[in-house]
Amino acid sequence: THAHQELMGNKVFLNVVYVQAALDHHHQIVAAEEPRILMHSNDCGDPAGCSEDWHATWWNSIGHFLLNGRNPQPYGDAIKCFKDMLFGHVSEGCKDLMFKILNEGVAFHHAEHFITKACQFLLEKLVYKP
């Protein structure tokens, strides 16, 4: 808002806008690009169907949770909801492998790390040094 801009000053406010835009873009990428199943488990009877259903479930859940205009969810909450979804032809072994990758959370931790660094940067801009 204009009040926030006056309170923070133009430089800091502009940086906050850039940070928000970068986070929004990151949310869009994560929502649209699911982690791929590169190697299917031994119990997977239909690798093509498994990959298709993984993609569909990702888009219809994570895409919805992260990009919901009325109630966007943070990554952690989106993943919790995702784990409760029905996965069609995705085998239990493939789900387990993919959830291990998700729990490592490289893409998800990127946003948290980015926010921390941006806050540190903005704090340096906000703190008045005589």
Whole-angstrom distance, CA of residue 3 vs CA of residue 10: 11
Specify the pTM: 0.74
Q: Which residue has the tokens 């298709």?
A: 52
- 50 pLDDT exceeds 90? yes
Whole-angstrom distance, CA of residue 20 vs CA of residue 126: 17
Q: Which among 42, 36, 55 is positioned nearest to 102, based on CA atoms?
A: 36
pLDDT, tens only, 7-39: 878 888 888 888 889 888 888 888 888 989 999
Model confidence pLDDT, tens digit, residues 80-108: 889 999 999 999 999 999 999 888 876 67
Alpha carbons 33 and 25: distance in angstroms, whole number = 12
Contacts of 7 by beta carbon, 8 Å cutoff, 6+ apart:
none
